[in-house]
Amino acid sequence: MEDRIKKLYSPLFNEIYKWKLNSNKKTFVVGMQGTQGVGKTTICSYLIKKFAEINLNAVTVSIDDFYLTRKEQIELSKTGNPYLEERGYPGTHDIKLGEKTLLELTTSNGKTKVPSYDKSLYNGKGDRVKEEDWKTIETPVDIIILEGWMLGFTPKTNIEDPNLNLINQKLNEYYTWYKYIDAFIFLIPEEINYVMDWRVEAEENMKKSGKSGMTEEEAKRYTNKFIIAYKLYLPDLKSPISGPVLKIKIGKDRMPCDNFGKS
C-alpha cells in the first residue's frame, strides 16, 4: 500500500493540487476515467482525505449514481439493444439528473443533494436509492472528482454494428457534463483483460461484506460487454475538453507501469 501511495496516489494529489492552484475557478472539477476494478474508488477516497488535511473541501461523485432507476432500466431493456439490457453503457444514465447535480455542486452555497445508486439491490442488478437517502454535500466545494468507466469517451466513425453505433451516438449526450470538467485523468490498464479479474474480485468482496452480488459467471458475462467498448475507445483515447490531461498506464497490480504521461 505504501508503494502505491508513493507512486500513484501522492503524485495524483500533487497534480490535481497544482491544477487547482493555477485555476481561477472557485470549484475545480476533475474527470477521472478508469475501467471497472482499476481502483478509482480507493484513489478518490485517498485524495478526498488528503485535500481535507489542507482544508480543501473535496468530494467525489460517480457517474454510476446517475444510472436510470430499476424501473426505467427495465423499460430501456425492451428496445432489444443488447448494450442497453443492463446498466453501464452510454444511454443507461439520466443525463439531465447528472447535469443538474453538477450545476448545483459548482454554483450553490449551502447544501446539495447528490443521487446514490445501490448496485447490490435486485441481486446485483441495482437501483437508485430513495431521494431521502441521497448524500448531502456542503457547498461551495473546492474540488470535485467526477469518475466513471466511460467518462471522456468520444464518438468514433465507421462503426458497422448498428447496436454499438447507437451507443456510440449516445456519447454525444455526455458533452453536457463535460462543460463542467476542467481537467481529465485517464487510468488505462496495460492489458484490457485485467478488467475481468478485477470485476470478479469486486463482486466477491461485495458479497463478503454481507451484500448480494453477481456470481462469477454473471460478473464475467457482464464485464465482457464492457471489454468490447474498451477495445474500441481506449487505444486512441482523446480528451473531450481543452484543459489539462493526464494518462496513466496501470498494471494488473494497480500500480503505474511508467511515469505519468501527458498529452
Q: What per-residue confidence (pLDDT) applies to 1?
A: 67
Average pLDDT, stretch 102-127?
92
Predicted confidence (pLDDT) at residue 263 exceeds the cutoff of 60: no
Residue with cell 467526477: 146
Taking the domains of the chain in order of start, what are their residue ranges? 2-31+39-254
DSSP annotation string for 31-76: EEEE-TTSSHHHHHHHHHHHHHHTT--EEEEEGGGGBPPHHHHHHH
What percent helix, strand, coil does the chain show, rounded to 5?
Answer: 45, 20, 35
Q: What per-residue confidence (pLDDT) applies to 262?
A: 47
209-255: per-residue pLDDT in tens?
887 777 888 888 878 888 999 999 999 899 999 999 999 999 999 99
25-58: per-residue pLDDT in tens?
999 999 999 998 899 999 999 999 999 999 999 9
Answer left, alpha or beta for residue 252, where phi above 0 means left and psi between -120 and 50 means alpha: alpha
The mean pLDDT of the chain is 92
Q: What per-residue confidence (pLDDT) applies to 5?
A: 87
170-220: per-residue pLDDT in tens?
999 999 999 999 999 999 999 999 999 888 888 888 788 887 777 888 888
Strand-pair partners of 62: 147
Backbone φ and ψ for 147, nearest 5 degrees, come out as: -120, 150
3-class DSSP state of 227: helix
Cell of 221: 458475462
Q: What per-residue confidence (pLDDT) applies to 89?
A: 95
pLDDT band at 261 (very low <50, low <70, confident <90, very high): very low
Q: Which fold has domain 2-31+39-254?
A: Rossmann fold (3.40.50)
Q: What per-residue confidence (pLDDT) applies to 260?
A: 58
